[in-house]
Amino acid sequence: MRLTGPIGIGIRALLGAGITAVTLLASAYVVTVFAAAVLIFVAMQLGPLEFTETGFLWALAIGAIPVLPCFAIVISHAIRLERVELLEGTVLASEIDADGGRTLEASVTRLATQFDIARPEVRVRPDVMPLAYTTARPTDPVLAVRRRGSPVIVVSTGLVQTLSSDELEAVLAHECAHLANDDLQLTSWLLVPLFAAEFLYETDETDEGDENDHWRVDPLGWALTSLSLVGFGVFSRGRELAADRAAVEATGDPGALASALERLENRRRRRRRPSTDLRHAQSTNAINVMPTLGEGGGSGGLRSTHPPLEVRLRALRSVAAA
């Protein structure tokens, strides 16, 4: 089953890519201006220098020569570190209890055949928080236009313990649908600013204090993270609904996915903060089947990465009624 998204998804993708590009260009410009200021300062220290607009433009051009390649290298490094973080501590599904591992692998194998995609590897994360997301390996290309590399579906022990077998298969179908829709490739592009923001402005999401205190003294980090979430969310909210529809087509059971989403949302509301090993909570929240953070992840705001639960359930009910 090969999927093609509606025109609305394409428009959302273009808007998200545009916001992401503006965010990256603005970040690169800020870094380049800083380098130009350093060059001007050094030149003024070496002798008398008349500050002119032409001189500033020359300093910008000269400063961009070493800055832009370094900027690209830092972003690439941040993405690979994020992939390492997302796979850290995971084990192959076959290495957990025999029955559970075989069930996961059998479900993914069957779903991959239905979606006409290469069978992704299934890994299990020992975490009480229910997690299900798809990511690339650290050795895969940072950005790719076509399908390359070997994607990995990660589920947590908390997810396996929380959901029934039908609900678990519905969630796995949702993740396979992302792969069939080539969401992983586009997501890698759109998450670049968020990866960079977390790499440069990492905060402790498990701190019991007000996490907004960090952004009050770091407006640049807040702005970069917010723009990153807006750009990603414009696309991701649509792709989540598309993956829900495709999962129902594959399983033929909209009720299983609906009950899984409701169960995961109830579990999230009872657990106020993510577990301590999720240091990069924003990016994990962005790619998980359901938001893992509190406000903003699925509340419908501009920074929301997922549609509100009510919207997803209403869409599933419409599919069931069709």
pLDDT(159) > 70: yes
E strand or H helix at 229: helix 219-251
Neighbouring C-alpha atoms within 13 Å toward the C-beta of 179: 28
Q: Average pLDDT for residues 135-153, to the nearest whole number?
A: 78
pLDDT(147) > 90: no
Asked which of 115-124, 126-135, 191-200, 202-211 is least confident by mean pLDDT, the reply is 202-211
Asked which of 35-44, 98-107, 163-172, 231-240 is least confident by mean pLDDT, the reply is 35-44
Q: Average pLDDT for residues 62-81, to the nearest whole number?
A: 77
CB atoms within 10 A of CB 98: 9
What is the 3-state composition of the chain as percent helix, strand, coil, each rounded to the nearest 5?
A: 65, 5, 30
pLDDT computed for residue 286 by the predictor:
82
Kindly list the distances between the CA atom of residue 144 and the CA atoms of 34, 177, 184, in Å, as whole numbers in the listed order: 31, 19, 10
- Whose tokens are 């980090």? That residue is 221
pLDDT(187) > 90: no
The token pair at 273 is 């903060």
Helix (H, G, I), strand (E, B) or coil at 124: strand
Q: Which tens digit of pLDDT belongs to each residue from 217-252?
A: 456 667 777 777 787 787 788 889 999 999 999 999
Q: Which tens digit of pLDDT belongs to each residue from 22-55?
A: 766 776 776 677 777 777 677 667 766 566 777 6
Residue 113 banded pLDDT, cuts 50, 70, 90:
very high
Q: Phi, psi at residue 165, to the nearest 5°?
A: -65, -40
Neighbouring C-alpha atoms within 13 Å toward the C-beta of 95: 10
Tell me the β-bridge partners of 134. Answer: 153
Residue 273 banded pLDDT, cuts 50, 70, 90:
low
The token pair at 54 is 């032409």
pLDDT(321) > 70: yes
Residue 206 banded pLDDT, cuts 50, 70, 90:
very low
pLDDT computed for residue 208 by the predictor:
42
Of residues 82, 175, 198, 240, which has the active-site annotation? 175
Task: Identify whether the C-beta of residue 298 lies closer than 8 Å to the C-beta of residue 306.
Answer: yes
Q: Say which DSSP state 134 is in.
A: E
Q: Say which DSSP state 94 is in.
A: G
CA-CA-CA-CA torsion sign (197, 83, 185, 74): positive
Helix (H, G, I), strand (E, B) or coil at 180: helix
pLDDT(84) > 90: no
pLDDT(111) > 50: yes
Task: Identify whether the C-beta of residue 172 lies closer than 8 Å to the C-beta of residue 107.
Answer: yes
Strands (E), 139-298: 152-156
pLDDT(207) > 50: no
Q: Is residue 167 among the annotated active site residues?
A: no
pLDDT(276) > 60: no
